[in-house]
Amino acid sequence: MSVEYRTVVGLGNPGSRYAATRHNIGYAAADLLRSVSGASSDDELQSRLKRDAAAALRGDLDRSGWQERDGRLESSVSINNWSGTLIKPQTFMNRSGEPLQSFLSFKKIPIDHVIVVHDEIDLPLGAVRIKVDGGEGGHNGLRSISQCCGGRGYVRVRVGIGKPAPGSPLAGTEDGIATWVLSRFSTEEQPFVEELVVRASLAVVAVAREGLRAAQNRFNR
């Protein structure tokens, strides 16, 4: 029996201080998916994703479709023949699993029916990869979800934000990596990041509509 992926979680930190940072690209993907809800064809989906990508990265999209409940923002989404729920935890990153666990428990949704979109320092800027299960790679948001929500069996859409360059003061230390992920993308990176958040959103739609393996075959190249 095929799995129905109806819950999509975008990870980030709440508040204007963290808007547009590398660590918030999961939030940006969730906002972008919310903005294109109602798209009824692939052409319309692509067009609207590209139109709204920059505003999603800035955290500037219309927020009227979101409702706050138990430490999370929720919104329904409908794209072509798929519909589901978007979740943005409003705790800080290291407690992301708590509001998600509340939602999953109330809705009786197993963790393996969940897609989580998150930043990934172990992928170069611009890469998108899809995986299921496995370790958290030091990502505090993923660790919290695994601990609170019943294990590691959820789908991850890994969005590459790259690492500090070798020799950089930020390279190789825990504090340096924390500073890096909480930094904003440069002006030079902006066009690539807009394309990146579009691809991340399309990866979510592919998993939800076509299934895990088909989506991996398309994006994990």
Catalytic residues: 23
Beta bridge partners of 86: 8, 75
Distance CA 80, CA 45 (A): 9
* 133 sits in which H/E element: none
Distance CA 24, CA 68 (A): 18
175 phi/psi in degrees, rounded to 5: -65, -35
In angstroms, what is the C-alpha Rg of the chain? 16
CA 107 distance to own-chain centroid = 21
What is the per-residue DSSP string for 101-132? HHHHHHHT--GGGEEEEEEETTS-TT-EEEEE
3-class DSSP assignment, residue 137: coil
Distance CA 143, CA 147 (A): 6
